[in-house]
Structure 1
């Protein structure tokens, strides 16, 4: 009987203690402007958050918001204003604000999402503290998307000259400049409006990875897709904590975040975009979309045409007091270290 009473007492104390234990958990809000089933949320943010929650034994939790508090370009300012604790966004949505961080946005820098994401993070880890582009935030990850294609609803792009006079929807400032230099007329539209714009003839095509074409329901209007070997461009995404939210974590919680961030986020991005493109291309093939590939000669011509963008970036780096040549060389070195098509199982 004594043992039974002790058991009842212990159970009662445990039941009373549960709410107090739950109160010890810190829950951070993650601002999100994409649907919960988008691969950035489902394939990158959710696994990242789950790994940290597990690592901390539940003392740190994340609540990923399901409704945006503002448009994509406003995300960094919303983070600084403490509208949420953790946020993510596209660097190119804020032209001129994250110039140095956008080194991977330059033409032909990212051959695949593994190399692009890893190089983006490693380069930022080495030089980013000097940039001062994310003051007020603590950056825990950078990543890039997979290779974009030129997806056409009207006409086909078999050679570079076929871009002349075409209106192409773009997402960021660097992408728009690239299309302009190649002879197209860039137009910035939300991806949710791309299908309508192309079906009405407002735009002839769109630059997007295959995953995004399917996700945003653009597949039905696409007739041909032109691949650009070497990766014409990419967008650099950031993941960051508000500085005050970061400083409010315990040392153990910060260590858990660090363990599952940085290169871990880059790897998640590589998996997510690769798998997403595979699925997207399956849907495009089912639609009977024609796949083309720009010739080696045209790729060489495109590199030459777009070389001023690199020169301008180097000049901007110099104006800011940075050794752009060293940063660019390091980024390219990291790309070679992490590119997915690197052959490693042969004798040299």
Structure 2
């Protein structure tokens, strides 16, 4: 009877300890400036957080905030100020701050979201420790959105000359420069104001992936969409812990975060954006939007016209003491390795 009593006592003791263990779970607050149903939140951050929670058997609990503490450009500083433990943002929202990290923002670097996201992370993993652009934070992921299109409220952009004099809403500094070089007049507005701006003639069009056109309710004012093969531009998103919050994790917890971050997060992003675009295009087609593809000749012209952006980025890299050519080539190689349309196992 004594052994049984001992086992019963141990079992009772163990069961009474579970609530205490549950109370010791660390809550990781994730700052968010997008609605909870946005693709980045619902399709990327939530499954990422859920995978880590499961991996740690609940010792980490993620709380994604439902109200923003500041506008998108303020997110990195809010993270550094410990307003939350984990944050995310668009590198291009802080012009000049994440120049080296933004290598994938250059024209025609990202042929699709799988390639762009993989290349952005792998390039940062190889070179980013030297950049010093995220001091005070521990970056766990980088990713890019899907290929953007030129979405017009009126008229069509069949050739590059059709962009001349058009006012185009853009979201970041590099995108604005691209539109300017191609002859358009960029205007930077929050996406929530884009539909109103185009309805009132303040903007003729907007650069956005199909997913975002639908999500932000812009579909009703779009009449035509021009695809640019090769990826005219992209934005690089970052996901990072505040350094003190990261240091406060155990080795096991950090390993769990690492397992589901980095390339895993990049691939999760590629999946989310690809599916988001498919849904967005279905809605655009239902609305009778016309799709146009820029010709190979115009794509070649755009590449030549936008070459100065690459030259300037290389000069900035040199000024910072980096081998920009090596970084750029590595990023291109990684994008080529992970592009979704690369033929494999095909008998010819």
TM-score with structure 2 setting the length = 0.97
Query: Residue 239 of structure 1 aligns with which residue?
Result: 239
Deviations 1:285-327 (A, max 9, x none): 0000000000001000000000000000000000000000000
Q: Which residue of 2 aligns with 1:49?
A: 49
- The whole-number CA distance in structure 2 between the counterparts of 1:268 and 1:249 is 23
Q: Does 1:290 align with 2:290?
A: yes
1:301 equivalent in structure 2: 301
Partner of 1:23: 23
Equivalent runs, 1:1-348 vs 2, <5 Å: 13=13, 16-346=16-346
Post-superposition offset of 1:178: 0.2
Matched residue SS, 2:66:
coil
**How far apart, in 2, do the equivalents of 1:109 and 1:220 lie?**
30
Counterparts of 2:308 and 2:270, CA distance in 1? 29
CA distance in 2, matches of 1:95, 1:280: 29
Give the deviation of 1:249 after TM superposition: 0.2
C-alpha separation in 1, matches of 2:169 and 2:111: 22
Question: Which 5+ residue runs of structure 1 have no aligned equivalent?
Answer: none
> 1:24 Cα shift?
1.9
Query: Secondary structure of 1:254's match?
Result: helix
How many angstroms apart in 1 are the aligned matches of 2:258 and 2:5?
46
Q: Supply the RMSD in Å over aligned alpha carbons.
A: 1.7
How far off its partner does 1:12 sit?
Answer: 6.1
Cα deviation, 1:18-40, whole Å, max 9, x if unaligned, reads: 33111221111000001111111
Cα offsets for 1:120-163 (capped at 9, x unmatched): 00000000000000000000000000000000002210100000
Which ranges of structure 2 fall in alignment gaps of 5 or more residues? Answer: none
Q: Give the number of equivalent residue pairs.
A: 348
Which whole-Å deviations, capped at 9, do the CAs of 1:56-102 have from their partners, x for residues lacking one?
11111110111100000000000000000000000000000000000
- What TM-score results when the alignment is normalised by the length of structure 1? 0.97
